[in-house]
Amino acid sequence: MATDTTHTNKPEDAATLSRRQFLARLSVGLGGVGAAIVGIPIVGFLLAPLLRQAPERWQSVGPLDHFKVGETVQITLSDPSPLPWAGVAARTAAWLRRDSEEAFVAFAVNCTHLGCPVRWLQDANLFMCPCHGGVYYKDGTPAAGPPPRPLTQYTVRVRNGQVEVLPNPVRAIG
Protein backbone atom coordinates (compact mmCIF):
# COMPACT_ATOMS: atom_id res chain seq x y z
CA MET A 1 0.00 0.00 0.00
CA ALA A 2 1.38 3.28 -1.08
CA THR A 3 0.90 6.44 0.95
CA ASP A 4 0.30 9.81 -0.61
CA THR A 5 2.82 12.30 0.73
CA THR A 6 1.60 15.31 -1.24
CA HIS A 7 -1.43 16.10 0.96
CA THR A 8 -0.27 15.68 4.50
CA ASN A 9 -2.15 17.33 7.36
CA LYS A 10 0.91 18.92 8.84
CA PRO A 11 0.27 21.86 11.24
CA GLU A 12 1.26 25.19 9.69
CA ASP A 13 4.42 26.84 10.79
CA ALA A 14 3.77 29.77 13.18
CA ALA A 15 6.01 32.03 11.11
CA THR A 16 4.02 31.65 7.90
CA LEU A 17 0.63 33.22 7.20
CA SER A 18 -1.93 31.93 4.82
CA ARG A 19 -3.15 34.30 2.12
CA ARG A 20 -6.51 34.59 3.88
CA GLN A 21 -4.91 35.55 7.22
CA PHE A 22 -2.67 38.11 5.55
CA LEU A 23 -5.53 39.77 3.68
CA ALA A 24 -7.71 39.80 6.82
CA ARG A 25 -5.00 41.52 8.84
CA LEU A 26 -4.28 43.94 6.00
CA SER A 27 -7.99 44.83 5.77
CA VAL A 28 -8.25 45.48 9.51
CA GLY A 29 -5.10 47.63 9.46
CA LEU A 30 -6.21 49.70 6.47
CA GLY A 31 -9.68 50.10 7.99
CA GLY A 32 -8.10 51.42 11.19
CA VAL A 33 -5.94 53.89 9.27
CA GLY A 34 -8.99 55.06 7.30
CA ALA A 35 -11.02 55.50 10.48
CA ALA A 36 -8.21 57.56 12.04
CA ILE A 37 -7.94 59.76 8.93
CA VAL A 38 -11.67 60.51 9.07
CA GLY A 39 -12.06 60.55 12.87
CA ILE A 40 -9.22 62.84 13.95
CA PRO A 41 -10.56 65.97 12.16
CA ILE A 42 -14.07 65.27 13.47
CA VAL A 43 -12.84 64.99 17.05
CA GLY A 44 -10.75 68.16 16.55
CA PHE A 45 -13.82 70.02 15.27
CA LEU A 46 -15.90 68.92 18.25
CA LEU A 47 -13.23 69.82 20.81
CA ALA A 48 -12.08 73.11 19.22
CA PRO A 49 -14.46 75.39 21.17
CA LEU A 50 -13.18 73.90 24.42
CA LEU A 51 -9.52 74.14 23.49
CA ARG A 52 -9.48 77.51 21.75
CA GLN A 53 -10.55 80.21 24.17
CA ALA A 54 -10.48 83.74 22.83
CA PRO A 55 -8.12 85.98 24.76
CA GLU A 56 -9.67 88.82 26.72
CA ARG A 57 -8.31 91.81 24.82
CA TRP A 58 -9.90 95.24 25.18
CA GLN A 59 -9.99 97.34 22.01
CA SER A 60 -9.87 101.11 22.05
CA VAL A 61 -12.54 102.67 19.84
CA GLY A 62 -11.66 106.31 20.41
CA PRO A 63 -11.13 109.07 22.95
CA LEU A 64 -13.89 109.82 25.45
CA ASP A 65 -14.54 113.31 24.08
CA HIS A 66 -15.11 111.87 20.59
CA PHE A 67 -18.55 110.56 21.65
CA LYS A 68 -21.47 112.85 22.53
CA VAL A 69 -23.97 112.02 25.28
CA GLY A 70 -27.13 110.49 23.77
CA GLU A 71 -25.49 109.75 20.42
CA THR A 72 -25.30 106.24 18.90
CA VAL A 73 -22.49 105.61 16.41
CA GLN A 74 -21.24 102.63 14.48
CA ILE A 75 -17.79 101.31 15.45
CA THR A 76 -15.56 98.54 14.09
CA LEU A 77 -14.14 95.72 16.21
CA SER A 78 -11.60 93.02 15.41
CA ASP A 79 -12.22 89.37 16.23
CA PRO A 80 -10.06 88.59 19.29
CA SER A 81 -8.97 85.22 17.88
CA PRO A 82 -9.15 85.42 14.08
CA LEU A 83 -8.06 82.60 11.86
CA PRO A 84 -4.94 83.41 9.83
CA TRP A 85 -6.90 83.49 6.57
CA ALA A 86 -9.87 85.54 7.91
CA GLY A 87 -8.70 88.87 6.46
CA VAL A 88 -11.40 91.56 6.57
CA ALA A 89 -13.91 88.97 7.78
CA ALA A 90 -12.21 89.20 11.18
CA ARG A 91 -13.62 92.73 11.55
CA THR A 92 -17.20 93.38 12.59
CA ALA A 93 -19.39 96.39 13.22
CA ALA A 94 -21.13 97.32 16.46
CA TRP A 95 -23.32 100.15 17.72
CA LEU A 96 -21.93 102.27 20.58
CA ARG A 97 -24.06 104.76 22.52
CA ARG A 98 -22.99 107.14 25.25
CA ASP A 99 -25.79 107.28 27.82
CA SER A 100 -24.08 109.67 30.27
CA GLU A 101 -20.65 111.16 31.01
CA GLU A 102 -19.17 107.77 31.96
CA ALA A 103 -21.80 105.20 30.86
CA PHE A 104 -21.60 103.54 27.46
CA VAL A 105 -23.44 100.59 25.94
CA ALA A 106 -22.42 98.62 22.84
CA PHE A 107 -24.62 96.29 20.78
CA ALA A 108 -23.79 93.76 18.11
CA VAL A 109 -24.96 94.89 14.71
CA ASN A 110 -26.74 91.58 14.01
CA CYS A 111 -30.47 91.02 14.55
CA THR A 112 -31.20 88.12 16.91
CA HIS A 113 -33.81 86.75 14.49
CA LEU A 114 -31.68 85.74 11.49
CA GLY A 115 -28.54 87.85 11.85
CA CYS A 116 -29.29 90.64 9.38
CA PRO A 117 -27.51 93.94 10.16
CA VAL A 118 -29.69 96.37 12.11
CA ARG A 119 -29.71 100.12 11.42
CA TRP A 120 -29.93 102.88 14.00
CA LEU A 121 -32.73 105.37 13.33
CA GLN A 122 -31.69 108.47 15.26
CA ASP A 123 -35.00 110.34 14.92
CA ALA A 124 -37.02 107.36 16.22
CA ASN A 125 -34.46 106.16 18.82
CA LEU A 126 -34.88 102.62 17.46
CA PHE A 127 -32.81 99.89 15.87
CA MET A 128 -34.48 98.52 12.74
CA CYS A 129 -33.83 95.23 10.95
CA PRO A 130 -34.55 95.61 7.23
CA CYS A 131 -34.91 91.87 6.53
CA HIS A 132 -38.13 91.00 8.41
CA GLY A 133 -39.16 94.23 10.10
CA GLY A 134 -37.61 93.59 13.50
CA VAL A 135 -37.54 96.65 15.74
CA TYR A 136 -35.52 97.18 18.94
CA TYR A 137 -35.70 99.95 21.53
CA LYS A 138 -32.54 101.95 22.22
CA ASP A 139 -31.71 99.61 25.13
CA GLY A 140 -31.65 96.66 22.70
CA THR A 141 -34.89 95.00 23.81
CA PRO A 142 -37.31 93.87 21.07
CA ALA A 143 -40.10 96.33 20.30
CA ALA A 144 -41.82 94.62 17.36
CA GLY A 145 -41.44 91.92 14.76
CA PRO A 146 -39.84 88.51 14.96
CA PRO A 147 -36.69 89.06 17.12
CA PRO A 148 -36.79 86.43 19.89
CA ARG A 149 -34.41 88.18 22.32
CA PRO A 150 -32.56 91.49 22.87
CA LEU A 151 -29.55 92.55 20.82
CA THR A 152 -26.29 90.98 21.93
CA GLN A 153 -24.18 93.39 24.01
CA TYR A 154 -20.47 94.00 24.41
CA THR A 155 -18.80 95.09 27.65
CA VAL A 156 -17.61 98.72 27.54
CA ARG A 157 -15.29 100.65 29.86
CA VAL A 158 -13.54 104.02 29.98
CA ARG A 159 -9.85 103.84 30.80
CA ASN A 160 -7.23 106.60 30.58
CA GLY A 161 -9.56 108.81 28.55
CA GLN A 162 -10.19 106.08 25.98
CA VAL A 163 -13.43 104.17 25.36
CA GLU A 164 -12.63 100.44 25.20
CA VAL A 165 -14.83 97.54 24.14
CA LEU A 166 -14.33 93.88 24.95
CA PRO A 167 -15.18 92.15 21.65
CA ASN A 168 -16.37 88.94 23.31
CA PRO A 169 -20.16 89.30 23.13
CA VAL A 170 -22.38 88.90 26.19
CA ARG A 171 -25.88 87.55 25.54
CA ALA A 172 -28.61 89.65 27.07
CA ILE A 173 -31.20 87.71 29.04
CA GLY A 174 -34.78 88.49 28.32
Tell whether the torsion through CA atoms of 153, 157, 162 and 167 is positive or negative: negative
pLDDT of 4 above 60: no
Give the residue-averaged pLDDT of 75-100. Answer: 79
pLDDT of 58 above 50: yes
Predicted pLDDT at 9 = 52
CB burial of 112-142 (b: ≥16 within 10 Å; e: otherwise) equals: bbeeeebebeeeeebbbbeeeebbbebbbeb
Q: Domain residue spans in the chain?
A: 16-52, 59-170
Predicted pLDDT at 107 = 92
| DSSP β-ladder status, 91-98 and 72-78 | antiparallel
Predicted pLDDT at 93 = 87
When pLDDT is cut at 50, 70 and 90, the band that residue 173 belongs to is very low
pTM of the model: 0.64
Name the architecture of domain 59-170.
Answer: 3-layer Sandwich (2.102)
